[in-house]
Amino acid sequence: MPKPANLLFFLSDNHARGMLGCYGHPAVKTPTLDGLALSGTRFTNAYSASPICCPARAAIATGRYPHQTGYWDNAIVYDGRVASWMHRMRDAGYETAAIGKLHFRATEDDNGFDEEIVPMHILNGKGGVSMLLRWSDEEPVNKGQWELYLEKSGIGTTHYQEYDLQITEHAIAWLEARAAHSGKPWALLVSYVSSHPPFTVPQRLWDMYDEASMKLPVAFRPGERPEHPADQHLRKTMGFQAMTDPAALRLIARAYCALTTHLDEQIGRVMAAAKRLRLLDSTRIVYTSDHGEALGAHGLFGKYSLYEPSVGVPLLMSGPEIPRDVVINTPVSHVDLFATLVASTGARVNPEDRSIGGESLWPILTGHPRTQPVFAEYHAAGSRTGMFMLRRGDEKLIYHVGAPPQFFDLAADPDEIHDLVQTPAGRVGAAELERALRRICDPETVDRRAKSDQRAKAKFWGGNAQILKEGLLVYTPPPGVKAEIETASPSAS
């Protein structure tokens, strides 16, 4: 059992696992996060439990998967009714605080924090209700996603980056107050909106990168990329079919790299303050992101899928009792953080928390093998049916309700280009992983439950026609900023 320590938890948005220098990216500049990896432990195969903002953040908070909690999408979201690691750390005597994006239902809920500073929750306690129509023939085409990448990647300023600066200032002030008046132990979540689109950055960050040297995404062209029915549906509903121009893809990649450097700079400012205040010797640091970013791979953008660029996340840990300059290749999950953080207080997981989906990372940090495969699921925008992932070693299954499964050997095919499910070995491997998947949940039953809950929530908000009339929320605005809404139009079935 580790000794109790303070916790400084950095959470970002939309930061793909491969988009850091310490993860091997040849161009992106992330000196703060690279330094954090050198001073601690880097997990090379960490996964979001569900690659979209609200379900991922609910899983991080609760240590439970969406099928365990019913937090399916960006409209049915965390509301404090399930215990979070924040609740448990507070119960253990910690002062708990959050600064920045939470994407829960509302501050009025008891989310487990003593205070929430400049919090971003879902808009008006309602969120992205258009996602509730994913089961329907009236599922809208999200044209706003197309423009978000093609038209808003480049030089400029956005409310998101202004919000990041505000988050940093509040975090530094909060740490200064704790250093001046040391009392009970504390846990601070500093949660940035970067590197979520729009990828709009100041000139100085833009100038750090050479557009011509940006590597093109894997398998982005028709004829090269996988054409699974789930991919085709996602491209259609997000308007991604035509985003195959190499020049545009390089521009978007340059902007994403620059925005990631902006994120790294903000974390660096907070880390510098913690060092100046002599807090680091008594504080554990965690960094992760809620989900990844496809950035054109497979002809996809954003999250919304269970391919590695979208479901894979960075995970770094540093501080007291965390091994230094260690790389762990064992697959791990966001749901493992609940038990890990609770154990970091010196407390044991409560009996009522035995149903958590993950396991503590402390044994893995000390060289013990993982006991479970890694699981993820998706039931939100762009998915006509539920999708489920299971990874065991280098084998990975993506199970689609009502559509063919996919099976990959990540050692031989890290870019997931060659689906082996129709090969003799692939059929055997997929069947074995499906049996393991069904020991976690029954995919068909879970798919029905998710759609039933989404139908009920859509009815609560006035029904399909009313939701379409209201339009599509392109992205959640920071506090005090007006939302950007796009006109909704049903997709062709």
In this prediction, residue 97 carries a pLDDT of 98
How much of the chain exceeds pLDDT 90, in percent? 80
Q: What is the pTM for the complete model shown?
A: 0.96
Contact in structure between 333 and 45 (CB atoms under 8 Å): no
CA 400 to chain centre: 21
Q: CA separation (Å) from 72 to 11, 199, 338?
A: 20, 26, 19
Pairing of strands 283-289, 312-318: antiparallel
Q: What is the CA radius of gyration of the chain?
A: 21
Phi, psi of 472 (to 5 degrees): -105, 130
Q: CA separation (Å) from 51 to 48, 116, 291, 304, 388?
A: 6, 24, 5, 6, 11
Convert the pLDDT of each residue in 149-208 to its tens digit.
888 999 999 999 999 999 999 999 999 999 987 789 999 999 999 999 999 999 999 999
Which residue do the tokens 């996340």 mark? Answer: 313
In this prediction, residue 10 carries a pLDDT of 98
In this prediction, residue 488 carries a pLDDT of 59
| Helical (H) or strand (E) element with 9 | strand 6-12
In this prediction, residue 484 carries a pLDDT of 77
Convert the pLDDT of each residue in 300-324 to its tens digit.
999 999 999 999 999 999 999 999 9
Sign of the alpha-carbon dihedral angle for 6, 11, 16, 20: negative
| Second CATH level (architecture) for the domain 6-370 | 3-Layer(aba) Sandwich (3.40)
How much of the chain exceeds pLDDT 70, in percent? 96
Task: Please identify every stretch of the chain with a pLDDT value under 50, giving residue numbers as ranges.
Answer: 492-493
Convert the pLDDT of each residue in 5-39 to its tens digit.
999 999 999 999 999 999 999 999 999 999 999 99
SS3 content of the chain, % helix, strand, coil (to 5): 40, 15, 45
DSSP 283-346: EEEEEEES----TTGGG--SSSS-SHHHHEEEEEEESTTSPTTEEE-S-EETTHHHHHHHHTTT
Phi, psi of 201 (to 5 degrees): -140, 160
In this prediction, residue 487 carries a pLDDT of 62
In this prediction, residue 493 carries a pLDDT of 40
- Gap between the Cα atoms of 251 and 433, Å rounded: 39
- Gap between the Cα atoms of 278 and 424, Å rounded: 58
